[in-house]
Structure 1
Amino acid sequence: MQVHNVQQGTPEWHALRSSYFTASEAPAMKGASKFQTRNDLLSMKKTGIVPDVTQQQQAVFDRGHAAEEMARPLVEEDIGEELYPIVGTSGNLLASMDGATMLGDVLFEHKLWNEKVVAQIRTGELEPHYYWQLEQQLLVSGAERVIFVCSDGTRDKFVSMEYRPVPGRREELIAGWAQFEQDLGEFVPQQAKAVATGSAPDQLPALRIDVTGMVTASNLDAFKAHALAVIGDINTELANDQDFADADATVKWCSEVEDKLKAAKEHALSQTESIDVLFKAIDDITAETRRKRLELEKLIKARKEIIRSDIVMDAAKALQVHIDQINETLNSRIRMPKVMADFAGAIKGKRTIDSLKEAADAELARAKIEASRIADGIRANLKSLNELAIKHGFLFHDAQELVLKANDDLVALIKVRINEHEQQQAELKRQEDAQKAAAATVTPVTEPEAVPQVTEPTPVVAVATAAVAPITQTPADDGQRIKLGDITSRLGFTLSAEFLRSMGFEAVERKQGAQLYRASDFPRICAALVQHIQSVQSDQAAA
């Protein structure tokens, strides 16, 4: 870690932070921050524009810093060592520690008293919003642990826990920043949007009706023309948050117009029993308003579903593009497995278009990181196969499945397969040498007169057969299986299931059309084949 002589909160500190990925930004990068989205962080890093701190926020920060200064001596008392605020960097990562011991093996991180945080500390289970910051502090500093404190600066309101690196999180954090840096290069900041507030059409003029058995005064014709014109101009093309907000407000407006028209009609009815023209006009306006309201309600629901579906599909396509790019860097015979991503689940409960996109983007980033992690594992395994099994490629026709294993497991499996193969080859060589030696000991018949009487080749067969190693007893089933195709690949010639059955070897399973045999039977199969070949040879010699 490189230590920087800057004080937290100073302009120099802010300038330094702008050039690094900081620990306090790690939760947002992981899509786990309570205060900032991943896209907002991308925009801030891309443009360099940092949101202004409100007076209310600054007041909270000031209380937090004051409580931190008061809590530091309490932690020093608990651990028996002094703590010093420190700012450090490692690579492109930065961490500002509220305190560190002189040896740098223990860190101190303070949060202002908060009942929810207190509950997490007491159970020892922190939310990602907190633990990603701590993981980066440990990564940058190289410390062993963090004393995570939540307090108001007094002993009465003071809780703490010890946080140590959790296996796997450090690698996930590094991969997350790598993906973030890649996304940052391609990110195009969007123009800042104001919060969408609904805007309904202008209010209709008040409908005036006076009746005395007949309509004596009414602006009904002008009212109707104006009302139908306003209703006809209502936007039904919903594309963004503003359109949806306007539509929601207009639905309420339509409902209010319906209620007012109904009230006007009832008022008129109270003055006269029947005025067809008046009622027909009111009914027409009411029907048109209702029709528009129902149309908008359906459009809002349908359009939102289309937009949600489009966002999910676009994210899925982007993930597939990422996987395709990875596949281009791998061996032509190896392909990436399916990387799970729940985009539909990620956007569940989101209301605005911006929040839908943000949730989908966060899940996309997570899936890309996971895909890159899998790809790195595949590359490491391919390297191991190339280095350790370059002369025994025929033993690894299942490479597609093997490269998905942990590298240590794969290396062990490679060594076992090669060792088994070499032992089998050695056994075959031993049996072949024994056969040759046995054949050499057969004394040919030399007396001319005895030749016509030799009709039985039994002694020759007996001697030759005696050199064949007996087939060992059936070993215990260890659960390992081998395909018929793999058996033939190892031997270098084709065998049929029927032929193996004739020698006493039955398939124990079938999987996707493939015959599976016990892997532990392979040495016995080899020995049986040798015996069969020698028997055929002897029969030919005796013919």
Structure 2
Amino acid sequence: MKTIHNLIQGSAAWHQHRATAHNASDASAMMACSPYKSRTALLKERATGITPEVDAATQARFDRGHAIEEIARPLAEAFIGDDLSPVIGTTDDGYLSASFDGLTFCGTIAWECKSWNESKAQVVRDGQIPQADYWQCVQQLAVSNAQKLIYTVTDGTPERTVHATLLQSDVVDDRAALLAGWEQFDKDLAAFDPGAESPAPAVAAPVESLPAVVVQVNGALTVGGNLEDFGAALRTFIDRIPKKPSTDQEFADAEAATKALKKAEEALAAAEDGALAQISDVEVMRRTVADLKNLARTTRLATEKLVAAEKEARRTEIVTGAQAQLDQHVQALNQRLGTNWMQRVAGGFGEVIKGKKSLANMEDAVAVALTNAKHDINVLAQRLEANRKHLVQADGDWIALFADFATVGAKAAEDFQALASLRIGNHKQAEAARLDKERERIRAEEAARLEREAAAKAQQEAEQERLRIQQQAQQEQAEIAKAQQAGTLAAPVAQDLAGLVQDKAVEDVAGIDAQQAIAAAQTSAAADDGQTMTLGQLNARMETMGLGKISAATLEHHGIPFTKERAAVQITSGNARRLMLLLSMGYRKLADELQAVAA
């Protein structure tokens, strides 16, 4: 909100306030857009406190403007639909000030009134604010925070009253540019040296008139006159022309000299024509006149070219100097950012000096353009800096995803944050998928490695087991052969045992306990009392023990001798025990095979 000041216009307190405040009425001059006051003149006024005296004519114009304002206020109130009161206000920090021709009670609408001017009226009819008053209106909106400003050009009559509307929402960027302009103005004011100020507008110094050219022709064909004196004066005059003008004053003097030389050319031609009208050609006179005319002309042309060249050099110097300052500013900002995200900015200074005749006006226009350009790139640097900081998050710095940061980093904060969220999210998803794929690859490789190692270990163990079984079979066969040679093991039993051992060795099945089998076989042979039993009796005992039944085919398979009496199969008790031994070893072999298959 603004701060209202209870000041009476024209009072000492009012003048004191205006002398120290950043006034809206000075905004156009500060921005070098005022046709009435240059930026340099405003700097001088603020630095010295000396303001131009108001003469009677100017005061009369001011008084008429105030009178028109009072007459036009009801017309503006009717247009707005609300009452208006003239007030003086500042921003809360007191930095900006504005005098309002009118402000509504609620402060939502401001009014600025200008006396009738047809050229301004035409701009307003086109819906615009004249450039000379635009920055004043922007500052009024900045001070008041009004929603809109009504700009009126009028002579107090309805017929010659036009309005234009400037919305607060239309001047957001220009408010920032205005503030940057005042801040630069304060810096220039602090460095302003009144003793080194620019001279007054250049006016050509009075040019010493060359003597009149007189050529007389007497009857005796004698040529008189003052050509020699004129030639000496002309040469002296030429020597005083600035050889390399560098200031507005020297440029003005040189340009005035060219005009005097032009007149000298014309005077010489006229004198020659006058002499020729009196007498026929006099060779010496004509050569002298021709030489002097040529001297005046060539010097004039050379001076004109020199003036044009030096003016162009000074224009170039002003423009390139401003561009160099802007380049240095960009470089300093890049150093602050830590990288060259900001590219070189063309200040467009050549455009702003177009149509400017004096160096002072060029310098003022370029100074404002430079301030505006610095402000724009400062805003860009702040945006880049803020967006860069946004990329440093709790889970890391994501700048690697923004190779185009110099471009996208210039986006508004909301737009950039949305883009950053999208890129970071996509990267995280892609990275998660990559890590999952990598983990799956590692898991598969590990599983394959373990499988290879397990297979190699199983193969190694199987080979070791095969060698062990072969060694065990050899030992068992040796023991069986030894028992047979000692007569403690019957040949049929020995053969059965040897065959079983061989089968198990070939099939890589764990060996039988040879000592236990030999002992069992020897016990069976020793206990053979020659008694017989039928196959039915043997099956009955096996079924009682849950061992199932056998048939004569089983006896034949194992080579067990038997007899038949009355269709009953009979075997001796010793052969029955031999059969049980063979069956038990067969069951053991089968159990070992089943264990091997399960493994």
TM-score, structure 1 normalization: 0.75
Q: How many residues align?
A: 451
Please, which moves more after superposition, 92-101 or 338-347? 338-347
User: Runs ≥4 in structure 1, deviation > 6 angstroms?
Assistant: 436-439, 449-452
Aligned residue for 1:297? 304
Aligned residue for 2:158? 155
In 2, distance between residues paired with 1:267 and 1:128?
A: 56
More helix by share: 2
- 1:78 deviates by 4.2
Q: Does 2:173 correspond to 1:172? A: no
- 1:221 deviates by 4.1
Percent identity reads 34
Return closer, same or farther for 1:389/1:273 CA change in 2, 3 Å cut-off: farther
- 1:408 deviates by 1.8
Aligned residue for 1:408? 414
Alignment equivalent of 2:133, drawn from 130, 135, 141: 130
Alignment equivalent of 2:279, drawn from 263, 269, 272: 272
TM-score, structure 2 normalization: 0.68
1:394-405 mapped onto 2 (5 Å cutoff): 394-405=400-411
Q: Does 2:307 correspond to 1:309? A: no
Judge conservation of contact 1:117–1:150 (CA < 8 Å) in 2.
Answer: yes
Aligned residue for 1:76? 77
Aligned residue for 1:357? 363
In 1, distance between residues paired with 2:223 and 2:435?
A: 120
2:221 is aligned with what amino acid? M
- Structure 2: gaps spanning 5 or more residues: 464-599
Judge conservation of contact 1:199–1:250 (CA < 8 Å) in 2.
Answer: no
Return closer, same or farther for 1:238/1:97 CA change in 2, 3 Å cut-off: same
- 1:3 deviates by 1.3
SS at match of 1:270: helix
Please, which moves more after superposition, 14-23 or 443-452? 443-452
Alignment equivalent of 2:349, drawn from 335, 343, 346: 343
Aligned residue for 1:62? 63
Question: What do the CA deviations read for 1:359-414 (whole angstroms, capped 9, x no partner)?
Answer: 32232222222222222222222222235674434334444344322222222222
- 1:41 deviates by 2.5
| Structure with more contact order per residue of length (Cα contacts < 8 Å, sep ≥ 6) | 1
- 1:196 deviates by 1.1
Aligned residue for 1:93? 96
- Structure 1: gaps spanning 5 or more residues: 453-543
- 1:316 deviates by 1.5
1:357 is aligned with what amino acid? E
Aligned residue for 1:465? none
1:171 is aligned with what amino acid? A
Q: Which structure's CA Rg is the greater one?
A: 2
Aligned residue for 1:281? 288
1:87 is aligned with what amino acid? I
In 2, distance between residues paired with 1:155 and 1:240?
A: 50
Return closer, same or farther for 1:274/1:178 CA change in 2, 3 Å cut-off: closer
- 1:149 deviates by 2.1
- 1:420 deviates by 1.9
1:455-534 mapped onto 2 (5 Å cutoff): none
Tell me the C-alpha RMSD between the 2 structures: 2.9
SS at match of 2:392: helix
Q: Does 2:267 correspond to 1:251? A: no
SS at match of 2:175: helix
Return closer, same or farther for 1:72/1:387 CA change in 2, 3 Å cut-off: farther
1:280 is aligned with what amino acid? R
Return closer, same or farther for 1:351/1:210 CA change in 2, 3 Å cut-off: same
In 2, distance between residues paired with 1:32 and 1:223?
A: 48
- 1:94 deviates by 0.6
Judge conservation of contact 1:211–1:268 (CA < 8 Å) in 2.
Answer: no
Judge conservation of contact 2:213–2:271 (CA < 8 Å) in 1.
Answer: no
- 1:270 deviates by 3.2
SS at match of 2:279: coil
Alignment equivalent of 2:211, drawn from 200, 204, 215: 204
Return closer, same or farther for 1:111/1:231 CA change in 2, 3 Å cut-off: closer
